């Protein structure tokens, strides 16, 4: 079974000189506990890693609030799982998918002025059904 979803997460940095916005596109855990969004949904680290691999290899396009034509690109993505962080000697309270996005000019201005404070991602997930 396939279901469409939308998620939001926090932007941490707007780089004015390069026109980039950085933050978590997906949050999987906070303080070692599964993170559930306002809809009550949770994206486990393994599912995030699989989705990020697919997204970065096939699309990387950014839309403004899921609408219209692509208006920018996700230029950087790093899957920060508990295991990856530990293997790199990184201590972090939050795990998930870190991204660096170059939005279009209008969207960048909305990040700059605080209209947009997070990323909103969309996609679909498939629930496992017993055969």
Q: State the pTM of this model.
A: 0.81
pLDDT per residue, tens digit, the chain (131 aa), is 444 434 445 677 889 899 999 999 899 999 999 999 877 889 999 999 998 998 899 888 776 665 667 778 899 999 999 999 999 999 999 999 999 999 988 889 988 888 888 776 655 555 554 44
Cβ density class 101-112: b for 16+ within 10 Å, e for less = bbbbeebbebbe
Q: For residue 113, count CB atoms less than 10 angstroms from its CB and return exposed for 0-12, middle for 13-18, buried for 19 or more.
A: exposed
């Amino acid at each position: 079974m396939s279901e469409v979803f939308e998620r939001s997460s926090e932007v941490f940095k707007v780089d004015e000189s390069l026109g980039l916005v950085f933050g978590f596109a997906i949050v999987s855990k906070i303080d070692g506990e599964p993170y559930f969004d306002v809809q009550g949904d949770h994206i486990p680290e393994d599912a995030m890693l699989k989705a990020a691999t697919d997204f970065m290899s096939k699309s990387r396009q950014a839309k403004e609030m899921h609408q219209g034509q692509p208006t920018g690109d996700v230029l950087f993505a790093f899957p920060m799982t508990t295991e990856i962080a530990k293997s790199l000697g990184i201590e972090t309270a939050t795990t998930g998918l870190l991204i660096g996005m170059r939005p279009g000019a209008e969207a960048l201005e909305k990040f700059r002025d605080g209209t947009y404070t997070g990323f909103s991602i969309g996609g679909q997930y498939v629930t496992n059904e017993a055969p």
